[in-house]
A = this chain, B = another copy of it.
Amino acid sequence: MKTALAQLNYHIGNIKYNTDKIINAINKAKAEKLDLIVFSELSICGYSPLDMLENEDFIIDCELAIKQIAKQTDGIAAIVGAPTINKNTKGKNLYNSAIFIANRKIIKTINKTLLPTYDIFDEYRHFEPNDIFEIVEYNNKKIAITICEDLWDEQRSFGNFSKEMLYKNSPLEYLSKFNPDFVVNISASPFSYNQADVRKEILVNNAKKYSTPILYINQTGANTDLIFDGGSLVINKNGQPIVEANYFDEDYKVIDLNFLNNIKTLPSDITNKYADIYSALVLGVRDYFKKSGFTKAVLGLSGGIDSALCLAIAVGALGSENVDVLLMPTAYSSSHSVDDAIDMALRCGVKYHVINIEKLRIEFETTLSDLFVGTKTGITEENIQARLRGSILMAFSNKFGHIVLNTSNKSEAAVGYSTMYGDMNGAISVIGDVYKTDVYKLSEYINKYIADIIPQNTIKKAPSAELRPDQKDNDSLPEYEILDKILYAYIESRLPFEEIVKIVGDKETVSFVLKLVNNSEYKRFQSPPILRISSKSFGFGRRMPIVAKF
Binding site for B on A (CB under 8 A): 11-15, 17, 46, 48-52, 54-61, 85-94, 117-118, 122, 124-125, 157-168, 223-224, 287-288, 291-292, 353, 355-357, 359-360, 363-364, 366-368, 371-372, 375, 379-380, 383-384, 387-388, 390-392, 394-396, 398-399, 420-421, 425, 427, 494, 496-497, 522, 525-529, 540, 542-550
Q: Which residues on B sit within 8 Å (CB–CB) of A398?
A: 379-380, 383
Q: Which residues on B sit within 8 Å (CB–CB) of A125?
A: 117-118, 122, 543
**In the bound complex, do residue B163 and residue A92 qualify as a contact, i.e. CB atoms below 8 Å apart?**
yes
**In the bound complex, do residue A163 and residue B287 qualify as a contact, i.e. CB atoms below 8 Å apart?**
no
Q: Which residues on B sit within 8 Å (CB–CB) of A391?
A: 364, 384, 387-388, 391, 421
Instruction: State whether A14 and B549 are in contact (beta carbons under 8 Å apart), knowing that A124-B124, A160-B56 are contacts in the complex.
Output: yes
5 A-B interface contacts by CB (under 8 A):
A48-B545, A92-B157, A292-B546, A372-B399, A391-B421
- In the docked arrangement, what's the CA distance between A49 and B521, Å? 13
- In the docked arrangement, what's the CA distance between A526 and B357, Å? 26
Q: Which residues on B sit within 8 Å (CB–CB) of A57?
A: 496-497
- In the docked arrangement, what's the CA distance between A545 and B61, Å? 17
**In the bound complex, do residue B549 and residue A12 qualify as a contact, i.e. CB atoms below 8 Å apart?**
yes
**In the bound complex, do residue B86 and residue A161 qualify as a contact, i.e. CB atoms below 8 Å apart?**
yes
With contacts A52-B544, A91-B167 known, what are 4 further pairs, Cβ within 8 A?
A12-B549, A56-B160, A56-B494, A387-B394
**In the bound complex, do residue A93 and residue B158 qualify as a contact, i.e. CB atoms below 8 Å apart?**
yes
**In the bound complex, do residue A11 and residue B86 qualify as a contact, i.e. CB atoms below 8 Å apart?**
no
Q: How many copies does the complex hold?
A: 2
**In the bound complex, do residue A165 and residue B90 qualify as a contact, i.e. CB atoms below 8 Å apart?**
yes
Q: Which residues on B sit within 8 Å (CB–CB) of A547?
A: 11-12, 223-224, 287-288, 291-292
Instruction: State whether A395 and B390 are in contact (beta carbons under 8 Å apart), knowing that A224-B545, A360-B363, A543-B51 are contacts in the complex.
Output: no
**In the bound complex, do residue A55 and residue B291 qualify as a contact, i.e. CB atoms below 8 Å apart?**
no
Q: Which residues on B sit within 8 Å (CB–CB) of A395?
A: 364, 368, 380, 383-384, 387
CB distance from A255 to the nearest CB of B (A): 32
Most chain B Cβ neighbours within 10 Å, of A92, A395, A545: A545
**In the bound complex, do residue B46 and residue A548 qualify as a contact, i.e. CB atoms below 8 Å apart?**
yes
Q: Which residues on B sit within 8 Å (CB–CB) of A383?
A: 394-395, 398
CB distance from A298 to the nearest CB of B (A): 11
Q: Which residues on B sit within 8 Å (CB–CB) of A384?
A: 391, 395
CB distance from A89 to the nearest CB of B (A): 4
CB distance from A97 to the nearest CB of B (A): 14
**In the bound complex, do residue B363 and residue A380 qualify as a contact, i.e. CB atoms below 8 Å apart?**
no
**In the bound complex, do residue B165 and residue A89 qualify as a contact, i.e. CB atoms below 8 Å apart?**
yes
Instruction: State whether A90 and B390 are in contact (beta carbons under 8 Å apart), knowing that A12-B547, A50-B543, A526-B528 are contacts in the complex.
Output: no
7 residue pairs, one from A and one from B, having the closest CB atoms: A13-B550, A12-B548, A380-B398, A93-B161, A421-B421, A13-B548, A363-B363
Instruction: State whether A12 and B545 are in contact (beta carbons under 8 Å apart), knowing that A117-B125, A497-B57 are contacts in the complex.
Output: yes
Q: Which residues on B sit within 8 Å (CB–CB) of A157?
A: 91-93
Quick one: closest B residue to A163, CB to CB?
B93
Most chain B Cβ neighbours within 10 Å, of A117, A164, A425: A117
Quick one: closest B residue to A358, CB to CB?
B367
**In the bound complex, do residue A545 and residue B13 qualify as a contact, i.e. CB atoms below 8 Å apart?**
yes
Quick one: closest B residue to A421, CB to CB?
B421
Q: Which residues on B sit within 8 Å (CB–CB) of A91?
A: 157, 163, 165-168
